[in-house]
A and B are shown apart, each in its own frame.
Chain A
Amino acid sequence: MRKAIVVLALVGIGVMLIYAVGEMPPMGDSGNPDKVHIAPRYLEHGEEEAGASNVITAVILNYRGYDTMGEVAVIFCALCAVVAILNREKTGLSRTSMDVSGVKASVVVRTTIRFLVPVIIFFAVYIILHGESTPGGGFQGGAIIGASIILFTLAFGLPESTRKLPLRFRIPLESFAVIAFLAAGFTGIVFGVHFLTYLMPGLSEYAAETIRHIMMMVIEIGIGFAGGIIFTSIMFAMIREDQCELQPDSP
């Protein structure tokens, strides 16, 4: 009965939405309403106005910088929520029931991952640093770093990877994205212009562009490393199990 009502409502919504699709402009036409307002300006002047030949990076860091700052705060809040619900792991003491069972990943898997993880992190750093000129940037590189550390944890177990990435190393890095954004934003206020302005007034063209380049680099590196570490911390908090935890050795 309930299922029939839900399906009926969904069919009603679907017919209305498909009817609306029939009234929309044809997909892929270069004269559509979304392409006549601000997109041409971003595409034509993005390189000299924002200093990035990848227009997506220009939009993310420069034109819609406030959006991105809020979004970085959102992923930091998500980490805070997960840690509040499930608690942090203890370095070297937290285990999963897979670690307790004593079944290890095979030698082939562990050797492959030991050689593969540095290469993946190298690729991620390349993507973060070249986000201004090629496809890529902070979020993409951060996701790849997080995925590589997750791969390492699945092969070597939780105690090994928490020893490699201890809490005292991760906690400062987790908030690095928000701090980098705020630092770059307040640089503009120091120079007497608006928050999150990239081109400082009263400087020579070369100096202004150098400062803009450094600011974008700092924000990209901040988003990249903080994003990767936040994904890692979320995964560590979710994978640890209370009943498997070791007690610290009494001295």
Chain B
Amino acid sequence: MNFNRIAHNLNYVSSVVLFLLGLYTVAIKPNLVKKIMGLNIMETSVFLFMVSIGMVGSGNAPVVTEGVKPATMVNPIPQALILTGIVVAVSTTAVALSLCIKIHEHYGTLNASEILGTGGPF
């Protein structure tokens, strides 16, 4: 492994760790609202990864102004894609949470194991 490069790419490393934390929550925690929080953490970790790829050290925001050369600006494409991604993330969260409300009305619980009737850690 190239440890120097890993120590330099700290943003990528932390986005990997955040992704794994979110995946752990989705897989292990029985509560549905907690699972959705884990899903949100996974989404933001991917956003962090993509915007970090477009970074330029000591760069400028991609807004054309006097005296700023285009060569020193950060990459605008990941930022534009992630901007729409954030809004889609909140839409999916809203749909998932309203399903949670309906599930609680029907079953009286938000515990996935109890809803499935298995009793196992799911």
Interface residues of A (CB under 8 A from B): 2-3, 6-7, 10, 13-14, 17-19, 21-24, 26-30, 32, 34-35, 38-40, 42-44, 46-47, 53-56, 58-60, 64, 67-68, 71, 74-75, 77-79, 81-82, 85-86, 133-135, 139-140, 143, 227, 231, 234, 237-238
Contact = CB atoms under 8 A, between A and B. Distances in A.
A71 to B, nearest CB: 4
Interface string B88-102: 101110110111011
A7 B24 contact: yes
Interface string B56-92: 1101011111000011110111111101101110111
B102 A22 contact: no
User: 10 smallest A-B Cβ distances: which pairs?
Assistant: A28-B57, A78-B91, A43-B70, A22-B2, A59-B80, A53-B64, A55-B62, A55-B76, A71-B84, A21-B12
Contacts of A26: 5, 8-9
B27 interface: yes
Contacts, number: 168
Contacts of A43: 62, 64, 70-71, 73, 76
Contacts of B8: 26-27
The A interface is mostly helix, strand or loop, or mixed, namely: helix
8 contacts: A2-B121, A28-B57, A30-B59, A32-B53, A34-B53, A34-B78, A60-B83, A133-B63
- The bracket for how many chain B residues form the interface is 35 or more
A27 B64 contact: no
Interface of B: 1-3, 5-6, 8-13, 16-17, 19-20, 23-24, 27-28, 52-57, 59, 61-65, 70-73, 75-81, 83-84, 86-88, 90-92, 94-95, 97-99, 101-102, 120-122
Given A22-B5, A27-B12, A81-B95, A56 B76 contact: yes
Contacts of A35: 54, 56, 75
B52 A27 contact: yes
